[in-house]
Each structure stands twice: as structure tokens, then as C-alpha cells.
Amino acid sequence: MSIYTLTTILVVTVPLFLYSAEPSAFGAGNLNNPNPYGLTNSEKVLLENKQKLIKNQTNLRKVEVKSNNQANEVDSIRERIDGLQSIVESISRKSQTNKLNLQKLKTQNIQELNSSNEYEIRIGNMIQENKKSIEENVKNIEKIKLVINELSILIDSINAKYITRDEFNLLVTDVNKFKTLIVKELKKKVVPVKAKKTVDSTFKNMSNGDVATKAKQLFEKQYYTDAIKYYKYLIEKKYRPAQSHYMIGEMYFKRKNYADAISYFKKSVSLYSKASYMPNLMLHTAISMDKTGDKNNAKRFYNGVISKYPNSKESIKAQEYLDLLN
């Protein structure tokens, strides 16, 4: 039984007991009197118990009030701890990479150094270098923003340095015309060209979706010559032209025809620059530039892949190629 419950019972029962006792003359023996007098030994014990119970009841209420106040303070402290915890977790994530690098360096030093003095000196130097690295990382964040803005400038650079597909087709047309004239002179007859009708009949009764499906199947089987015809047909029909240009660029890239690959990659980007295949497109553009001797633009595109798609597999490949260039 709790103190509060015992107190309540006694407070109720004590007055009843006193009421049943025979009152003394002039209020003697009245326990309800603020200053009772003429008490018997039994009445004194009852009065003392009554006063103790009242005091305990008052103290109990004070304890309950204090407990409630402490509970409120604990809730407030917990809220502050939650806020601090989120800040600590944010700081912890940012410093995790530096901690791992430092631990790696410490492990290497333990294996390499024979002297404790040399070990302490090198650890001190590494700590200083790590601090500098942290400062440089802050600066690199700003540089990354600039690199992203430079990507659009790089696209314009491609336009300026590489022949467009239309220009290439025009050149081919001129060469074909020259060949035709030579044939006329030698054979005195004209060979009719029916390629266009043959191509058109290939796609007869086929929807654009069917052509796209067939083109993908040919690409997966590495029948690139036929696949290119299908994708060019889709470009003429303006059916997903950005993806069709990208796929043709991929086939030229696999054939190591890097100049044509760059031309088609460039056109794909100009049509839609947010496609899911952009990391691969940028990486293959950089490799194509690298293979054709344009090392400076290749480096910029490698860095662009690393900064814009840091968590992609293309970023890892770009870093490998960039290390070879450096």
C-alpha cells in the first residue's frame, strides 16, 4: 500500500475516532483544535501520527510535482539530443572518407617503417597533408560546379572542330557524282540506283515501334550494317531521334570509326541531354577524342564524367583513362 493511500485512510478514520470519543471540558482533548491541550497519552500519539501523515502527504505532493517537472526537462533534453545527433551524423558522413584514407596511410606506415621515430614523423606529415586535402576538397566543390557549366562549352567545341554528319554526307554525295561521271565516260551507260526503293520496301507495313525493336535485335547480334539502316530510317521518321543517333554513334565507336561516332554523339546530346545513357555517351565521346589525338578535350570530358556522374561505372573507367593521359 502506497504512502498516499495510507494517508488518505488515516485522514478519514482519525476524525471519526475523535468524534466518537467523549469531549473534555472547554475543548480539552479536541485534536481538530489548532493548538490542542489536555490530551491523554493516546490522544497525543494520535495527534503526532496525524501531523506526520499530513506532513508526508504534503511531501508526497511536492515529490510528484518535482517528478513531473523533471520528466518535462528530460523530454526537452531528449529533443535537443536528437537535434545534435542529426548534426553529428552529418559531420560524421563528411569526415568518413578522410578517416578511411588516414587509417590506410597509418597501416601502410606500420608495415614500412622500422623506427618508431620515423613512424611518428611520417604520421605527423600525413596528418598535415590530410588537413590540406580537406581544405582542397572544399575548393574542389566550387570547381566541380564550374566543370558542369563547362560541359555545354565542350559541346560547342565539338561543333567547331569536327565535321557534321550533313557535311560528311554532302562530301560523299560529291564523290559519288564524280564516280558516276567516270563510269559514263568509260562504259557509256548509266547504272540505275535503286537503293532507296529497296530500303523503303524493307520497312513496308512496319510501324516505327517494330522498326525500333528490329534495330535493337540487330544491334545485339552485332549486325551493325543492317542496324544502322534501321536507326537511320527512324531518324528520318523523327521517331526517338536522340536515341537513334546515340545507337548509331555506339556502332561507329565499336567499329573504331571515332570521327563519325563523335558526330552522332554530339547530335544525340543536342536533341536530349538528360537521357539515361548520357554517362556512357560522354565516356565514349572522351575515348573517341583521345583516339583521334584531341587529348585536351578528352581530358575535359573524362573530368566531366567523373564530376557529373561520380557514382557510375563510367566514372571509374574515365578515371582510369585520365590516369593514363596524365
- pLDDT given for residue 46 in this prediction: 80
Q: Can you read off the three cell numbers belonging to residue 230? A: 534501321
Choice between 101 and 240, residue whose per-residue pLDDT is larger: 240
pLDDT at 151 over 50: yes
Picking from 255, 59, 251, 150, the residue whose alpha carbon sits closest to that of residue 265 is: 251
Average pLDDT over residues 244-249: 97
pLDDT in tens, 41-80: 777 778 788 778 888 778 777 767 776 777 777 677 777 7
- pLDDT given for residue 166 in this prediction: 57
| Residues present in the chain in total | 326
| Residue 188 backbone phi and psi in degrees, to 5 | 60, 30
CATH 1.20.1640.10 fits 159-325, yes or no: no
105, burial (CB in 10 Å: exposed 0-12, middle 13-18, buried 19+) = middle
The DSSP symbol for 162 reads S
pLDDT category at 153 given cuts 50, 70, 90 is low
Share of the chain above pLDDT 90, in %: 36
pLDDT at 29 over 60: yes
Mean predicted lDDT score pLDDT of the chain: 75
- pLDDT given for residue 301 in this prediction: 93
- pLDDT given for residue 91 in this prediction: 72
pLDDT in tens, 206-242: 899 999 999 999 999 999 999 999 999 999 999 999 9
pLDDT category at 308 given cuts 50, 70, 90 is very high
Q: Can you read off the three cell numbers belonging to residue 9? A: 485512510
Decide: 262 and 162 in contact? Cβ < 8 Å: yes
Decide: 164 and 155 in contact? Cβ < 8 Å: no
Picking from 250, 223, 220, 247, the residue whose alpha carbon sits closest to that of residue 233 is: 247
Average pLDDT over residues 295-313: 93
Q: Which residues are CB-neighbours of 324 under 8 A, at least 6 positions away? A: none
pLDDT category at 271 given cuts 50, 70, 90 is very high
Choice between 159 and 89, residue whose per-residue pLDDT is larger: 89
pLDDT in tens, 155-210: 555 554 454 555 455 544 544 544 454 444 445 443 443 444 444 578 888 899 99
pLDDT at 19 over 60: no
pLDDT category at 82 given cuts 50, 70, 90 is confident
- pLDDT given for residue 179 in this prediction: 45
- pLDDT given for residue 88 in this prediction: 67
Q: Where are the domains of the chain?
A: 3-98, 159-325
Question: Of the ranges 22-26, 111-115, 162-166, which one carries the lowest mean pLDDT score?
Answer: 22-26
- pLDDT given for residue 222 in this prediction: 95
pLDDT in tens, 122-132: 778 878 877 77
Rg (CA), the chain: 45
Q: Which residues are CB-neighbours of 147 under 8 A, at least 6 positions away? A: 303, 304, 307, 308
